[in-house]
Chains A and B, each alone.
Chain A
Amino acid sequence: NAGVMQNPRHLVRRRGQEARLRCSPMKGHSHVYWYRQLPEEGLKFMVYLQKENIIDESGMPKERFSAEFPKEGPSILRIQQVVRGDSAAYFCASSPPGQGWETQYFGPGTRLLVL
């Protein structure tokens, strides 16, 4: 059973470009969470999605950031018009349906560098 997959593992963008980060949850998991880790800090919650639904996006910046988890395919975290402050590691986690959120399984992360 493959774990949570994220790609790309490393992404370099110039200021003003768009970044798309992908996350495929573990098989059978229908809940996806995105976290961001800024340098020298712990991971911070961004958004919680179920298939075709955003459940909680309280940790997402109001502008330029969006997330989706379509019926088919991976979850996508999209950052438009990136700025240097977006440079961070972005981790995705998944959990099984029901009350499975207490055990979240993390992917390897995408390291975004904005030049």
Chain B
Amino acid sequence: GEDVEQSLFLSVREGDSSVINCTYTDSSSTYLYWYKQEPGAGLQLLTYIFSNMDMKQDQRLTVLLNKKDKHLSLRIADTQTGDSAIYFCAGNNDYKLSFGAGTTVTVRA
């Protein structure tokens, strides 16, 4: 199965950009995902990128995919306190999603 790795913690100042990185092992993933989890809540799908794309932008979110290095990143512009959460990257093997352990993002004033 897919192994997905991401750093565990990120602290960022309000208004700065956040960059969360992720590496994966299964090059056959057709989709790569970013999910957000707030305390006590389920996983909210933020965005996903098709594997033949390099970049996807959606308002404050920018996803970059380097397929050669199997590296995925999520950039959040103008980070706000409401962005404090755990962010999971995931790849797919058909309908089976494989998740990293999550990056806890803390936004400080």
Contacts and interface: CB of A to CB of B under 8 A. Distances in A.
Contact of B101 (A41, A101, A105, A107): A41
Contacts of A59: 96
Tell me what chain B mostly uses at the interface: helix, strand, loop, or mixed. Answer: strand
Contacts of B82: none
Given A4-B42, A102-B48, A109-B42, A43 B99 contact: yes
B97 to A, nearest CB: 7
A7 interface: no
A40 B43 contact: no
- Bin the interface of chain A by size: 20 to 34
A42 interface: yes
Which of A45, A95, A101: most chain B CB closer than 10 A?
A45
Interface in A1-60: 3-4, 6, 9, 31, 33, 35, 37, 40-45, 48, 56, 59
Interface of A: 3-4, 6, 9, 31, 33, 35, 37, 40-45, 48, 56, 59, 91, 93, 95, 101-109
